[in-house]
Amino acid sequence: MTNQNTLRERALAFRSLHVPGSPLLLPNAWDTASARLVEDAGAAAVATTSAGLAWALGAADGDRLEGDRALDAVARIAAAVDVPVSADIESGYAKDPAGVADTVRAVLAAGAVGVNIEDALYEVGGDPLRPVAEQAERIAAARGAADAEGVPLFVNARIDTLLRGAGGVDLTLERAAAFLVAGADGIFVPGAVDPGTVKLLVDGVDAPLNVMAGPGAPPVAELAALGVARVSVGSGIAQAAHALVRRAARELLGAGTYGTLAGGLDYGEANALLGQAL
């Protein structure tokens, strides 16, 4: 278990990486192997993807994975790398603010120093977003739990207005303001990649802005010029990896050939890299 002094140091280091105009770049990981590969590539921190992590554990994304299973995976990731780790904890793996506080304490025990907490709801036919006051209470509970432990956990409040078609920039900014008052440190707006929209959010949010990039999104240099402080890719790398698995399997079972396997990571290199994580 990481001691409190080390957690505080890592948390402060992670905070310092959120610089508007010089964004923290996070190729999201979902297990020990992907985390070690991300760190080896030169990432200053490792962030998990809740979707990729859930899939690796045989569950669907969207508040369907048990929190203890998710946090066990986060603990393995944090133990395998030397850089700060931020955990995507979906909506907090809890029904109420007290439960979110318990989850945050477990996140710290796992060795992570940042969290993403989303405001999406996944009940069929229900509202797409949690009411703003209710979500603010959950963020405040996360903030309070971390502060009580003496760790400046970076709370990244994810707002799914644009991603779920539940509102535009104005509503996003209203929710962001409420979540910052509640104790969030940063605002994450997946679905915001249009330069005009990103600029409005950067100018309207009084905190580091995180955007989720992927094919078709502006390059990092352009996002940096707009003032973005954090660029992540969500489940994108996991999706690409799983697509390769499907292509390779279909090729072998169909054509009986193996071309998809060309360019794979060298066995010895992969084995040595993972050996360092023991």
Q: How do residues 205-221 score in pLDDT, each as one tens digit?
A: 999 999 999 999 999 99
**Tell me, what DSSP letter sits at residue 2?**
-
Q: What average pLDDT does the segment 98-119 reach? A: 98
pTM: 0.96
The confidence band for 104, taking pLDDT boundaries of 50, 70 and 90, is very high
Superfamily classification of domain 4-234 = Phosphoenolpyruvate-binding domains (3.20.20.60)
The confidence band for 5, taking pLDDT boundaries of 50, 70 and 90, is confident
Residue 206 burial class via C-beta count within 10 angstroms: exposed 0-12, middle 13-18, buried 19 and up: exposed
If one compares 278 and 231, the residue with the highest pLDDT of the two is: 231
Q: What percent of the chain has pLDDT over 90?
A: 95
pLDDT at 49 over 90: yes
If one compares 13 and 126, the residue with the highest pLDDT of the two is: 13
Residue 164 burial class via C-beta count within 10 angstroms: exposed 0-12, middle 13-18, buried 19 and up: middle
pLDDT at 278 over 60: no
Could you tell me if 49 and 158 are in contact, meaning their C-beta atoms sit under 8 angstroms apart? no
pLDDT at 276 over 90: no
Q: What average pLDDT does the segment 222-251 reach? A: 98
**What local confidence, expressed as pLDDT, does residue 4 receive?**
84
Distance of CA 249 to the CA centre of its chain: 29
Domain extent listing, the chain: 4-234
Q: What percent of the chain has pLDDT over 70?
A: 98
Reported as half-sphere exposure (CB side, CA atoms, 13 A), residue 88 has a value of 28
The confidence band for 124, taking pLDDT boundaries of 50, 70 and 90, is confident
The average confidence (pLDDT) of the chain is: 96
| Distance, CA of 7 to CA of 252 (rounded, Å) | 46
Please give the angle made by the CA atoms of 154, 225 and 30, to the nearest 5 degrees. Answer: 40
Nearest to 99 by CA among 117, 114, 78, 84: 117
The confidence band for 275, taking pLDDT boundaries of 50, 70 and 90, is confident
Distance of CA 148 to the CA centre of its chain: 23
Number of other CB atoms surrounding residue 210 within 10 Å: 26
pLDDT tens readout for residues 150-166: 999 999 999 999 999 99
pLDDT at 277 over 70: no
pLDDT at 189 over 90: yes
The confidence band for 123, taking pLDDT boundaries of 50, 70 and 90, is confident
